[in-house]
Structure 1
Amino acid sequence: MFFTRSLAIAAAVGAASAQLKTCSNSNNTLSCHSSSKSPTCCFSYPGGALLQTQFWDTDPATGPSDSWTIHGLWPDNCDGTYQANCDSSRAYTNITAILKEQGRTQLLSYMDKYWVDINGDNEQFWEHEWSKHGTCVNTIDPSCYTNYQPQEEVGDYFQKVVDLFKTLDSYTALSSAGITPDDSKTYDLSDIEDALAKIHGGQKPYVGCESGALNQLYYFYNIGGNAITGQYKAAAPLEKSNCPSSGIKYTPKSGN
């Protein structure tokens, strides 16, 4: 339904030739730092902030016991609000097939391990994240590509989310600060934020809790250029943590 041209051809030929338009000002104009109100292929607007978001699911547990898992990459309007489901014509329901046809099998294998749905339906989860958030990243609109191949931006989006996630090893950062999953220990919010800021350019992420236990992390960025090849600069969170200041639980994963 969504394959207007052969993705096998896109993988073999288009992947090498299709690319995002060059952004000469990528190091000068950061999103959320300009008076411009016009989105371009080199300027993110209104979703000027991008959030790499992570889960810590424990019941049922998802992903490895020594790693957080991917939630997504979300554009935010620089003020805590956001757009969603921006292009119904690109609300694809075949993410796995698209990635396979683009030859991104290693990416897909990684996603199956670290970008996992709590109910076991990874494909549906990825479809949701792409449709709700990915279609709202204006700098990867099809018009921003030269020699565009259908769904090229889909593979680029998922690859970028994974690449960012790999630079944000939250489990190891917390563990290095003595913050480890435990059924009885509790931790202070400031210690958690300080530990995570060390892997995020000195900027603390949003730390989310559920029933007083660690549950989610949002790492905020401003972007110079497009969302794939542009400059990512760590930014302060646009919302306050919902966790208590102390007594925070970090529940071990169980039932993997």
Structure 2
Amino acid sequence: MQPSIMLLLLLPLLLFSAPSISTAQDFDFFYFVLQWPGSYCDTKQSCCYPTAGKPAADFGIHGLWPNYADGSYPSNCDSGNAYDASQIGDLMGSMRSKWPSLACPSGDGSTFWRHEWEKHGTCSESVLDQHAYFQAALRLRSQVNLLQILQNAGIRPDGGFYSVRGISSAIRSGIGFEPGVECNVDDAGNRQLYQVYVCVDATGKRLIECPVLPTSKCSSRVEFPPF
């Protein structure tokens, strides 16, 4: 058979199969964001405990957010894939303890989780379905024990002030990668440790060095309030 004829015969097959072999991601990495509840509550806005009761005095999950390497991010990628609690029934116990909502009015967490899935999770559908998305965040939370890391470095939620450089250094020593540290302001105007950003590869499994870090909004020394 002539080579030209063979190419013509193969061309439709190649065109048909091309989409199925594409593995391109529509994002570059995840921010895994952990939040200190004492800093969420110690503001003029205050907070409300979940209907299940006051969460443990530990860092809780804020979210697992797809991001681009230039610092921008996709959001609300699939309005047709709504949050469905029935898909994560086996995770609910862990969700309530590790991913609580402190927003007012009090709730069972479902409004918070729905927001996180629909704004951020739907943008990770190329690698994580709804169950895998929430499960990935819970696994990362087990892997990154921020409170223990900080306490091992003498940094405790006792209302004292600690250097941001010391906080970052302790976390880097604990997880092997530079974190992003974000602060907010309490009702007395003090900057306080609020959230920590850790970067994860696009599979949602492996910690990586951050391609870009968020703006810290911190002073050189910040409060670590109790909860």
- TM-score range normalised by the length of the shorter chain: 0.7 to 0.9
CA contact (8 A) 1:222 1:235 kept: no
Q: Deviations along 1:205-251, whole A, 9 cap, x unmatched?
A: 1111111001111101233xx44xxx6241134323211112x0000
Report what 1:98 is aligned to: 87
2:29 aligned with 1:53: no
**Corresponding position of 2:8:** none
Q: Could you tell me whether the CA contact under 8 Å between 2:198 and 2:207 is conserved in 1?
A: no
5 Å matches for 1:1-256?
42-45=23-26, 47-58=27-38, 59=41, 60=47, 63-65=55-57, 67-92=58-83, 94-95=84-85, 97-100=86-89, 104=90, 107-119=91-103, 120-121=106-107, 122-140=109-127, 153-183=129-159, 185-201=160-176, 203-211=177-185, 212-223=191-202, 226-227=203-204, 232-236=206-210, 237-246=212-221, 248-253=222-227
Normalized against structure 1, the TM-score is what? 0.68
Structure (1 or 2) with the greater helix fraction: 2
Letter aligned with residue 135 of structure 2:
Q
CA 1:124–1:177: 2 relative to 1, 3 Å: same
Task: Provide the C-alpha distance between the structure 1 equivalents of 2:23 and 2:170, rounded to a whole number of angstroms.
Answer: 32
When normalised by structure 2's length, the TM-score is 0.76
Q: Structure 2, unaligned stretches of length 5 or more?
A: 1-18, 42-46, 186-190
Contact 1:51 1:75 in 2 (8 A): yes
- Structure 1 residues 168, 233: closer, same or farther in 2, change over 3 A? closer
Shift of residue 138 of structure 1? 4.3
**RMSD of aligned Cα (Å):** 2.1
CA distance in 2, matches of 1:116, 1:197: 25
Tell me the number of residue pairs that the alignment of Structure 1 and Structure 2 aligns.
187
What CA distance in whole angstroms lies between the structure 2 residues aligned with 1:206 and 1:156?
25
Could you tell me which residue of structure 1 aligns to residue 9 of structure 2?
none
Find the structure with the greater CA-based Rg: 2
1:2-54 CA distance string (max 9 Å, x none): xxxxxxxxxxxxxxxxxxxxxxxxxxxxxxxxxxxx9x874433x21111111
Would the alpha carbon gap of residues 91 and 249 (structure 1) be closer, same or farther in structure 2, given more than 3 Å must change?
same
Q: 1 CA distance for matches of 2:225 and 2:72?
A: 30
Q: Which amino acid aligns with 2:171?
A: L
Q: Which residue of 1 aligns with 2:4?
A: none
Distance 1:233 1:114, change over 3 A: closer
Structure with the larger RCO, 1 or 2 (CA within 8 Å, 6+ apart): 1
Q: Distance in 2 between matches of 1:252 and 1:113?
A: 18
What percentage of aligned pairs have identical amino acids?
A: 29
1:167-203 alpha-carbon deviations (Å, 9 max, x no partner): 11110000000000112x21001100011112322x2
Query: Distance in 2 between the 1:170 and 1:234 partners?
Result: 16
Q: Deviations over 1:56-104 (max 9, x none)?
A: 1222466211x10001100011121111000000022x32x2222xxx2
